[in-house]
Every structure is written in C-alpha cells, then in structure tokens.
C-alpha cells in the first residue's frame, strides 16, 4: 500500500464518529460494499441500518468498502493495491462474505471494478469454496437481479433487516462445517427471501426470446420478498456521523417506509409496500439523544409528509430548536404549520414533484396532484420566506404526446407567475428526467420513449425557457437513460454482455451491437402475457393486479391510496378484487 492510499483511509476514519472497529480475530469480518463513492454511500440510510444490525450480533464485524475517487483508483491500479476496508484496512478478498448494497443500475460496473481491483473474481462461477461469497441486496436486487446473476452467489430479495441474520447464520454454519460451495448455496436457497441464481435456469425460444425460468427441484419455484412488519424492532437512524458526505453531519432518521399512493411509475411504491410508520416517541427519543456534532436532522421516507404524526414531530423539533430537513413532500399534504416549521429550520427551497405537466398525464400515472396543490405550495413557501421552488418532472411517460409537453411548459409559466405574484423573486428550478419503465410496476410493459422523441421534447422545454429569468432547466444524459432502461429490465444475456464489456473495457452498447442487438430496441415494449425475466420473484401481488392498473392508466382512472384492511393487491392479505 502506498502512503497516499493509507493516509486517505486514515483521514476518512478520523473525521467519523460512531464507527465500530474490532480487533482482528475478535469477530468474523463481514465486508459491506456500497459501489459508489464514500460521499454518496454514507448518505444511504440502509447502509447505516445494516451496519448496526451486523455489528449488534456480537460475532460479526461489519467493515465498509467504497469506490475510490478517480485519482485514488488510478493509484490502486498503478501499485496493484487491492481495495481495503475503512475499519481495519483488510483486503476485500480476505472476507468470507461480501454484502453489496445495490441501489442504482448505473453502479453495476462500479461493483465489477471494485471486485476485480480487489482480486475477487467478478464471475460467481469462477470463485471457489474458500473465496468470498458475494451477496447482493438493495432495490435493484429486489426488482430484477438477473443482469447481475452471473456476479452474485446470492441475492437478498426485499428488506435486508428480515434476512441478514438468517443469512449470516447459514453462511457461518456452512463454512464451519467445511461444506462445498454448491452445498452452501443450496442451504442459502432454502431461506425465505434468498435467491440463488445458480439453481435457476433461464429458458429461451428458437428466436432467442426469454420464455421462462426453470427452477431446480431442490429449491423453491419462486422467491418471496421479505418485508418488515414492525419497523420499530430495527434501527432507524444514522450510525456514523461525518462531515464528508452529501448530507454533512446530518443525523438521518427514517420516519416511515413504503408508500401507498399507487403512482404507477414508482418501483418503490410497489416493491416496498405496505406503508409503515415508526413510533413518534421513539423517534423523538432518538433525536434528543443524537450525536453532539449533528448540524441537522434529516427526516427520511418515501413520502415523509404522509407520516401520520408529521405535524407533531416537526412542531416538537421547532419548539426544541432542532434544525431539520425533509427528504420528500407532496404538494397536497402541505399546510401552514409544516411549511413554517421547515422555513424556521432554515430550508430555503420548496421541492414538489408534479411529475407531469398535463392533467391527462397526471391521471395516467395516478399522481393525485393538481395544479392548485402546486400553487398552494408556492404561496405557503413565499409566506414562510422560502426563496426558491424546485419542481420534478418526467418526459416520455406512457401515453405522452407533444401537446402534454406544451401543457408542461404552460404550467411552468403559470408557476413562475404565481411566484412573482407572491413577491417571490427566487429561482424556479425545473429538474427533468426521462421516464424509465421498471419491473413490478404497471408500466413494466411500457417501452422507453424513443431517443429522437425524447431529444425533441427535452429541446422543446429547454428552448421555451432559454431566455427566461429565474427559471433553470436541469436535464440528464439520454445516453445514461437508455442504458439504465436496458439494465432495469434486462435478463442474464444483458448481464453476460455487461461482464464482457467490462473485461474488454468497451461500452456495453458496442458489445451488444457486435452481438447483433440494438440497445434502443432492447428498451422496447414487453407484450402483456409474455414471460418476464423477473417473474420468479414474488412481491406479494399478482401480475393480474399490475395488468388491471395498466388498463386503468390507459383509461386515466384513479386508484385511491392504501387504507387499513385494504385487500386490493394482496400484500396485506389475500387479494379481493
């Protein structure tokens, strides 16, 4: 290890408080990879929760690995130094189990880079019995693990709190018995929520189309998503504080999980159903005992403003002079008290996600937000002293036409007028992304909008506000949009191409082209009734339920949010259609 690499790790740890470091040999080391930078990874609350759970076992020591920045990664490669853990600077290859938190498709290649640089073979089939087991969890593993099926020995399907202890128990027992790798994986495949791709064989027809998944008779035909029924039984806050993250010295608190709004584009709303709230007094006790260097408390959840005790929580924070911020807000839940509480805590930008600019498109996606809700948010923000407004939109949604973009442009103009009328001279920030269809949503059969159309519609939006004062339009790379769409709904052949592209140091698009595949065609529509690469996973609801929501989208029909004793989708009990 060069001095530069060793010093970089020491500097990171020196800026932390709350990390747990155990003497080598005192516990069994568990590697935890977040396949992106420390700056981003340490802002992920899921990492903090699992870090606490693993260390609380008493027999395990969780040690973190992140993707080095470009300068340090180049130094690793130049000196042939493997990646080392933050806690003990132990090489990744020395761990018996490697847990991976996979939140974004664009991090797939980062994981391959980290494994290869650490002398861990990226291909699962090439790793022997004495080499680390690679276990991948997180949102990407839950909704479609197939593109990484050649990399992972096993996947955690669902929320990791329910599975991580059973998983480690099984791994330790198998290793202590000296079981062959095949037998170890077979033991893991018997656990609820563990998917071992080794025992599932994709089937293809004569035309090369995926036509089903054949499970070995030794394993379950489908793998059921695991989810936490009682959130308060598990950690809910940051474990480690540092000023070197996206949220500098912020104490992140999960107030709720899941969302019952039924937005038809949203994977999280389906794969993390049902909505669950944490106990108010428990949250307040945690916040009152937060680390002293906390600059702000971050309230986190899929829809924080839907938390049933949000007013009591935020008012208490204001009364006790605790600065806080909120991860996500719905315009239809904002009121004077909540807005003033946010402003009193120093928030200067009101963020709202209409997602679509026309009534038709908001009906199709089941957003449930009206233009009046957005206008009300603007007036509340102005009255509370919030300077800026940020709106999130998507382009390329199913059923979208150019006229819907024209309506979006007109809506943005009216928002700016409302801001001016409210004497709010701050910036109106418009963040626009291309819509990416995701598995286990009603839009899983929808195509990615063709790139030419997306380019034209992005151009319509940018041109409309090119000379406008105090309106900023932020867009993303369409190249990445296409790649993400292919990875999100890909099968194992996409994974094989991804590995080949990595080893040959070539773009995935070029490898696919060599194989006679067009990357945009791979993002095309899926025919309803056609077998899907992820259909052997069970999220708790049926394909028929998703089809019914897809049909309702086409009819622009509204689906009410989740409610107690609801039995529509089947997650909370047998579906009653």
Q: What DSSP line would sit under 54-96, residue for residue?
A: HHTTSSEEEEEEEPPPHHHHHHHHHHTPPPB-TTT--BGGG-S
Q: Is 397 exposed, middle or buried (0-12, 13-18, 19+ CB in 10 A)?
A: buried
- Cross-sheet strand order for the sheet of 324-326: 250-254, 296-300, 324-326
Structure tokens belonging to residue 453: 């159309």
| Nearest of 156, 334, 330, 135 to residue 228 by alpha carbon | 156
- The full 3-state SS of 301-331, as one line of letters, equals CCCHHHCCCHHHHHHHHHHCCCCEEECCCCH
Runs of H (alpha helix) within 422-465: 451-464
Q: Which residue, chain included where needed, has tokens 């935890």?
A: 32
Three-class SS of residue 355?
Answer: strand
Q: Dig out the tokens for 347 from the structure.
A: 């928030």
- Model-level pTM? 0.96
**Cβ 352 vs Cβ 391: under 8 Å:** yes
How far apart, in whole angstroms, are the C-alpha atoms of residue 33 and residue 108?
Answer: 12
- Count Cβ atoms below 10 Å from residue 131 Cβ, excluding itself: 18
What is the full per-residue pLDDT of the chain (577 aa) written as tens digits?
577 898 889 899 999 999 999 998 999 999 999 999 999 999 999 999 999 999 999 999 999 999 999 999 999 999 999 999 999 999 999 999 999 999 999 999 999 999 999 999 999 999 999 999 999 999 999 999 999 999 999 999 999 999 999 999 999 999 999 999 999 999 999 999 999 999 999 999 998 889 999 999 999 999 999 999 999 999 999 999 999 888 889 999 999 999 999 999 999 999 999 999 999 999 999 999 999 999 999 999 988 989 999 999 999 999 999 999 997 788 998 889 889 988 988 888 999 999 999 999 999 999 999 999 999 999 999 999 999 999 999 999 999 999 999 999 999 999 999 999 999 989 999 999 999 999 999 999 999 999 999 999 999 999 999 999 999 999 989 999 999 999 999 999 999 999 999 999 999 999 999 998 889 889 988 899 999 999 999 999 999 999 999 999 999 999 999 888 888 888 987 665 5
**Which tokens belong to 121?**
């073979």
**What 3-state DSSP class applies to 109?**
helix
Q: Which two tokens stand for residue 254?
A: 């999960």
For residue 97, the surrounding DSSP H or E stretch is strand 97-101
């Amino acid at each position: 290890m060069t001095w530069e690499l060793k010093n970089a790790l020491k500097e990171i740890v020196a800026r932390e408080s709350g990390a747990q470091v155990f003497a080598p040999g005192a516990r069994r080391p568990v590697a935890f990879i977040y396949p992106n930078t420390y700056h981003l990874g340490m802002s992920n609350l899921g990492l903090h929760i699992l870090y606490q759970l693993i260390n609380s076992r008493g027999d395990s020591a969780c040690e973190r690995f992140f993707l080095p920045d470009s300068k340090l990664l180049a130094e690793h490669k130049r000196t042939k130094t493997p990646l080392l853990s933050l806690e003990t600077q132990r090489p990744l290859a020395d761990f018996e189990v490697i847990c991976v938190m996979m939140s974004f498709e664009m991090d797939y290649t980062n994981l391959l880079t980290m494994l290869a640089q650490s002398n861990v073979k990226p291909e699962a089939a090439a790793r022997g019995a004495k080499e680390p087991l690679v276990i991948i969890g997180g949102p990407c593993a839950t909704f479609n693990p197939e593109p990484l099926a050649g990399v992972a020995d096993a996947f955690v399907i669902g929320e990791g709190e329910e599975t991580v202890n059973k998983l480690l128990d099984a791994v330790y027992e198998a290793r202590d018995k000296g079981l062959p790798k095949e037998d170890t994986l077979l033991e893991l495949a018997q656990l609820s929520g563990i998917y071992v791709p080794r025992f599932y064989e994709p089937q293809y027809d004569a035309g090369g189309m995926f036509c089903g998944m054949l499970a070995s008779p030794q394993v379950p035909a489908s793998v059921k998503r695991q989810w936490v029924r009682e959130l308060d039984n598990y950690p809910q806050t940051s474990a480690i504080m540092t000023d070197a993250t996206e949220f500098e010295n912020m104490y992140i608190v999960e107030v709720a999980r899941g969302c019952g709004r039924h937005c038809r584009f949203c994977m999280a709303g389906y794969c993390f159903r049902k909505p669950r709230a944490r106990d108010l007094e428990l949250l307040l006790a945690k916040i009152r005992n937060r680390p002293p260097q906390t600059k702000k408390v971050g309230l986190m959840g899929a829809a924080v403003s839907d938390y049933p005790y949000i007013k009591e929580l935020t008012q208490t924070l204001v009364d006790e002079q605790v600065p806080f911020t909120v991860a996500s807000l719905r315009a239809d839940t904002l009121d004077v008290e909540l807005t003033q509480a946010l402003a009193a805590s120093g928030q200067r930008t009101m963020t709202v996600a209409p997602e679509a600019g026309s009534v038709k498109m908001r009906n199709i996606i089941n957003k449930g937000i009206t233009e009046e809700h957005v206008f009300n948010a603007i007036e509340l923000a102005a009255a509370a002293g919030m300077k800026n407004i940020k709106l999130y939109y998507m382009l390329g949604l199913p059923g979208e036409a150019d006229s819907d973009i024209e309506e979006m442009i007109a809506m943005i103009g009216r928002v700016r007028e409302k801001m001016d009328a409210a004497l709010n001279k701050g910036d109106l920030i418009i963040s626009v992304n291309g819509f990416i269809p995701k598995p286990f949503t009603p839009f899983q059969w929808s195509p990615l909008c063709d790139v030419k159309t997306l380019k034209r519609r992005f151009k319509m939006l940018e041109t409309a506000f090119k000379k406008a004062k105090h309106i900023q339009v932020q867009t993303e790379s369409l190249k990445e949009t296409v790649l993400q769409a292919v990875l999100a709904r890909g099968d194992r052949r996409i994974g094989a191409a991804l590995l080949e592209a990595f080893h040959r140091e070539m773009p995935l698009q070029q490898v696919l082209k060599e194989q006679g595949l067009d990357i945009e065609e791979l993002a095309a529509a899926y025919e309803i009734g056609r077998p899907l690469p992820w259909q052997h996973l069970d999220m708790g609801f049926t394909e028929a339920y998703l089809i019914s929501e897809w049909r309702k989208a086409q009819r622009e029909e509204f689906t009410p949010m989740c409610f107690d004793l609801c039995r529509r989708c089947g997650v909370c009990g047998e579906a009653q259609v």
